[in-house]
Amino acid sequence: MVKVCVDPGHGMSNRTHNVFDPGAVHVEDGFTFREADIALKYGLTLKDVLRSRQVEVFMTRDDDTDHAPVGQRARNAKDAGCDAFISLHLNDFDDDNANGFEVLYGNDDNKNLAQELQTALLAVNGLKDRKIKLRDNVAVLKFKGPAALIELGFIANDDDREVILNPQKRQAICEAIAAVVANHT
């Protein structure tokens, strides 16, 4: 049976032991949006979608108290017997007008996976296509096997955030991710 690691970015002990890393934070009308929370919601949805496709799932973290040091996530996934690794993040930039989504990959073996994810996501999220990007210095992308890091959109951009927070969109985005991952495991 295929097993996929779902990695909601940031969270407890991500960078420093016992310190919660919220990732990018954006305050709008008195409400605080945290990347770690949104990524976790996506992670849990993706878990459900994958399991409904008879794919086993290993989560690097299930909630805000799970310790998940970023430098150990890829190894933990390998130790858990995972065949593929999908990391979920949101982008951030000083300029709130920055927008769109992108898929990062760590080596040439994963370029096709990244491109297929990018194309599948474009069809369902309607956000700006920022293209795939090679990043050979990202810890989780050192996973040995199919691996990608999805920047779902910009947390500080109103249009991106509206799409990302929409539950129907979240479901469609996770279905799209699962369909692509199934082709690479």
Q: State the minimum distance, in angstroms, from the CB of residue 70 to Zn ion.
A: 10
Backbone angles phi, psi at 6, to 5 degrees: -105, 125
- From candidates 8, 23, 43, 106, binder to Zn ion by CB under 5 A: 23
| Selected range binding Zn ion among 6-14, 64-72, 95-103, 174-182, rule: CB under 5 A | 6-14
Number of shown-chain residues binding Zn ion (CB under 5 A): 3
Token code pair at residue 114:
């990244």
Between 55 and 149, CB nearer to Zn ion: 149
Q: State the minimum distance, in angstroms, from the CB of residue 91 to Zn ion.
A: 8
Contact between 146 and Zn ion by CB under 5 A: the answer reads no
The label of the residue with tokens 């309607």 reads 126
Cα within 13 Å of Cα(48), Cβ side: 10
Q: Which residue in 89, 101, 97 sits closest to 157, CA to CA? A: 97
Q: Is 27 exposed, middle or buried (0-12, 13-18, 19+ CB in 10 A)?
A: exposed
Q: State the minimum distance, in angstroms, from the CB of residue 52 to Zn ion.
A: 26
- From candidates 4, 7, 8, 9, binder to Zn ion by CB under 5 A: 9
**Interaction with Zn ion in 70-109: which residues (CB under 5 A)?**
89
| Selected range binding Zn ion among 5-13, 80-88, 98-106, 109-117, rule: CB under 5 A | 5-13
Torsion angle of the four alpha carbons 39, 155, 32, 124, in this order, in degrees rounded to the nearest 10: -60
User: 3-state class of 151 per DSSP?
Assistant: strand
Applying CB under 5 A, the residues found at the interface with Zn ion are 9, 23, 89
